[in-house]
Amino acid sequence: MTVKLAISGSAGRMGRRLLALSDNDAGFELVQAIEWSGFPELGEPVNQRAVLASRAKTVSWTDTLAPGADVLVDFSTPENAMQNARRAVELGVRLVIGTTGLQKTQTDALKDAAKSVPVMFAPNYSLGVNLMFRLAAEAARVLGGECDIEIVEAHHNRKVDAPSGTALGIAGVVAGELGRELDRDMVHGRAGQVGKRRTKEIGMHALRMGSVTGKHTIYFCSEHECIEITHTAESRDVFAAGALRAAKWIMSQAPGLYDMRDMLFGTKR
């Protein structure tokens, strides 16, 4: 089965990799490349940017999701992602959302959309990162009650949100395993006379430097030992490949909200 694919944020760094990888996969047919309404190349052929092979010459940049797609993969902005999600529900298009920096009202909107269409919403589409989520949860279950937990994430100097969605995802699975509340127990950096570390703190630290694609480490440290779990992304292709794999998987799913752990490990929220 060929998946008719729409990509939002298609001219961005992630979007270009999604275009290139899907173009080399016979399981996809690109039917739409979506960008913001002020994008200067709207209406022009996508392959003019030399990201696609000849078989995609008929696809032009557009700013609105149109009928005909099976799945929309969105790596754009929170505002555009919400607009696309509403339109996808109207058209019955499945969603794979990789956009980060969403607020609670926006994630709630995705939950509402998932009542009508299958929605994959993951903080990170790397297979290795999602394995890291699972390992972090297991470490928290075994060690967390006796350890200080700190998370450090590093990204390139152009990333606009902090902490990263992946770091928040790691914190979320650990907090869920330990019965902690992120609003109460997560501490973002430390400065000044902060006092003795509280037992239930989950420390969160964001680094922004150079061209770092993405590095995440979670520490579990007791009085006697320290365990580190680290994932380093070597290129954006690891995220694009995972999102495209999710686009194929979501084709066979019923309406509902899914993440990568559902696909990889069969664990439904």
Task: Tell me which residues are annotated as active site.
Answer: 155, 159
Q: Which residues pair with 216 in a beta bridge?
A: 153, 231
List the end-to-end C-alpha distance of the chain, in Å, as a whole number: 27
Length of the chain: 269
Count of CB atoms situated within 10 Å of the CB of 235: 11
How far apart are alpha carbons 88 and 140 in whole angstroms?
37
How far apart are alpha carbons 204 and 167 in whole angstroms?
8
Which residue, among 1, 86, 3, 72, has the nearest Cα to 32 in the 3D structure?
Answer: 72
Tokens of 57: 């010459």
Which residue, among 265, 269, 267, 268, has the nearest Cα to 127 in the 3D structure?
Answer: 265
